Amino acid sequence: MRVVPKHRRMIIGSRVFKVFEYQKPFIPDVSDDNPILCALFSDIRFEFYIAGGRQINIWNAKNGKPIRCLKNCVDSDITAMALDKEHRKLIVGSHLGKIKVFDILSGVCTNNLENHSEENGEISFIGYGDDDLSIITAAWDRTIKIHKDDRDEQKKPPENVMRAKRLCHKKDIICGDYSHNLGLMATGGRDNKTRVWEYERMKFEDEFPSFNEVSIVKFLKPFPVLLTADNTGWIHIWLLDFPPHNTDGKKLIVSWRNNHSLEKVSPLSAIDSYYNADTGDFWMIMGDESGMVKIQDLSPIIREYNLKPVDVVTGNTKRNPHRNLEIENCTIDKNFAPSEVVEGAADDATDKGTELKEEP
């Protein structure tokens, strides 16, 4: 027996050869048969990619109809996804730290990247390096890796890792983001901190505190602005220390809590931003755990701080994005015993950087 999703046919061969046609590859009344763990939208292919359990359902964004379904992509639940620059590949990360690359059209697995820790290595972030043809991964094992997006059967997956850094946080990394125009990566952890890293040399750049576990970090492109949100509904927007575009150092622009009422607080679950250079429109779209979607106008921030789009990558001949570095441990928390993280000990270290004060 064989299923041909492209033609929506099922072929069965025994003494009698039969071909069955079907209309619905999965339940069409809901987005997925399983709880949705992550989703992506392709503005090139105009498709939605929705991951639930171990499978990915693909929907046509024009007519709202299901197109195909990728079954049993990994051995455990899918926890993170990303598209390549041309939206021809889908990079998938799992709860057990496995990372695979799939061809979107055929659904064939074309590459296996080096795994993160299987014991505590759930993939929490996958990013793509645009023209650099690299894949950035971060996981609960507190490790960041940058892989080559290149399949060479003569090389083992570890040989495709150009550089990596371990012990990047005191506790699990649970979210991340990558800004190609700034050449920066950001990671948020259960240690209530967001840390910013230089992409090319994996160098620590800055740290931002939060009131609780950081659930979302997002660069508001194309500006040197970073949004962080924690699991108690607090949202902070930071101006990055990014000379010569900003010489006044990092600054907390605005901070608020996502309240639906005086009693009900809802943490953010998804966020995106949109900037139109012609009109100057700068929008932020937020979705929270209560199912509410809000659109916020951020253009006053541009005017107040005289922000200009930043691109340190295009035309920069000094860049070497394929730099190979030895994997090393981060030494920021060198006085913090790694064993305490495993045992869930309290974080007694003093926060560095801007102090936040929670208002009642």
**Using one digit for the tens of pLDDT, what is the confidence trace for 110-159?**
999 999 998 889 999 999 999 999 999 999 999 999 999 988 777 888 99
Band the pLDDT of 360: cuts 50, 70, 90. low
Order of strands across the sheet that contains 17-21: 2-4, 9-13, 17-21
pLDDT at 214: 97
Confidence of residue 292 (pLDDT cuts 50, 70, 90): very high
Is 125 domain-assigned?
yes
**Would residue 309 count as lying in a domain?**
yes
Average pLDDT over residues 214-238: 96
Among 120-124, 140-144, 205-209, 326-330, which is the least confidently predicted range?
326-330
pLDDT value for 150: 87
Band of the pLDDT at 69, cuts 50, 70, 90? confident
- Report pLDDT for 354: 59
Out of 27-31, 128-132, 153-157, 239-243, pick the least confident.
27-31
Q: Is residue 238 part of a domain?
A: yes
Q: Decide: 185 and 200 in contact? Cβ < 8 Å.
A: no
Residue 223 bridge partners (DSSP)? none
Per-residue pLDDT, averaged over 168-173, amounts to 95
Q: How far is CA 257 from the centre of its chain?
A: 23
**Edge-to-edge order in the sheet of strand 36-42:** 36-42, 47-52, 55-60, 66-70
The pLDDT of residue 119:
85
The pLDDT value recorded for residue 25 is: 55
Q: For residue 62, is pLDDT > 50? A: yes
User: Distance between CA 308 and CA 241 in Å, rounded?
Assistant: 14
Give a yes or no: residue 87 inside a domain: yes
Spatial separation of the C-alpha atoms in residues 37 and 221, rounded to whole Å: 25
Pick from 35, 42, 92, 101: nearest CA to 67: 42
pLDDT at 66: 85
Determine the pLDDT at residue 35: 84
Could you give the percent of the chain with pLDDT greater than 70? 89
What pLDDT sits at residue 19? 83
What share of the chain in percent tops pLDDT 90?
65
CATH number, domain of 319, equals 2.130.10.10
Cα–Cα separations (whole angstroms), residue 262 to 82, 257, 258, 288, 296: 37, 11, 10, 16, 20
Number of separate domains in the chain:
1
Note whether residue 351 is domain-resident: no
Query: What confidence tens digit (pLDDT) does each residue in 74-92 have?
Result: 999 999 999 999 999 999 9
Q: For residue 234, what are the contacts with CB-CB under 8 A and spacing of at least 6? A: 210, 211, 212, 255, 256, 257, 258, 358
Q: Is the pLDDT of residue 358 over 90?
A: no
Mean pLDDT over each residue of the chain, to the nearest integer? 87
Measured from the Cβ of residue 143, the count of other Cβ atoms closer than 10 Å reads 22
- The more confident residue out of 332 and 117 is 117
Say what the pLDDT of residue 27 is: 63
Confirm whether 25 is domain-assigned. Answer: no
Q: Residue 209: give the domain boundaries.
A: 37-343
Ranges 61-70, 127-136, 346-355: which has the least confidence: 346-355
The answer to whether position 75 is within a domain reads yes
Q: Is residue 148 part of a domain?
A: yes
